[in-house]
A = this chain, B = another copy of it.
Amino acid sequence: MGEVMSLRERTRGAVRDEVMRQAWALFASQGFEATTIDQIAEAAGMSRRSFFRYFESKDELVLEQLAESGRAVAAALAARPAEESPWVALRAAFDESVTRMEANAEKSHPLQVMLHHEPALRSTVVEWRRRLVGLLSPLVAERLEPRRGRGADVRAAAVTASALACLDAAQGAWALDDDLRLSTLLDQAMGAVAPLD
């Protein structure tokens, strides 16, 4: 992980960070769809054309933001004891992220509201979920009884995608009513699908 970055790479990273900051400030005040790339580029002090040299689409600004929590979930899942069932391990793996979201709800809650209420972001959320399934399902596969067929395991993909569907349902409910506790909602959601013992 201790990769030596050239000056170019470091400046590029810094510029990306700055663009992200400006973009999220605009998203927070205007919403995602209402914010144009011209506005973001102007706020970041670059041309529209240059923006696209740092991010290949507006969606990527959101995807990158979500990616970090994805890596955290993957790490948490890998750290769970091997005897734990996939469903229980996934619930536990989500816990760190969920706790963090409840802790700084002032930031997380508006983000969830935005993610669940802006139609333009739905496809982005789903793309993130796709990536997360790719990241998590190999780890889930290890916890399933070994099987006959060759090729990727449908079961692992199904279990992972189901768990993420539950997380999504819980976050959606939380977006509608922040008096509820996200962790409780997730317990209810996942518990209704399969036992969490």
Contacts and interface: CB of A to CB of B under 8 A. Distances in A.
Contacts of A151: 173, 176-177
Nearest to A137: B169
A123 interface: yes
A188 B155 contact: yes
A155 B188 CA distance: 6
Interface stretch (A42-50, A69-77, A157-165): A157-165
A162 to B, nearest CB: 4
A193 B158 contact: yes
A151 B177 CA distance: 10
Interface residues of A, number: 38
Given A123-B122, A126-B123, A176-B151, A158 B194 contact: no
Contacts of A123: 122-123, 126
10 contacts: A154-B170, A154-B188, A155-B191, A158-B166, A158-B170, A161-B165, A161-B166, A162-B193, A165-B165, A193-B193
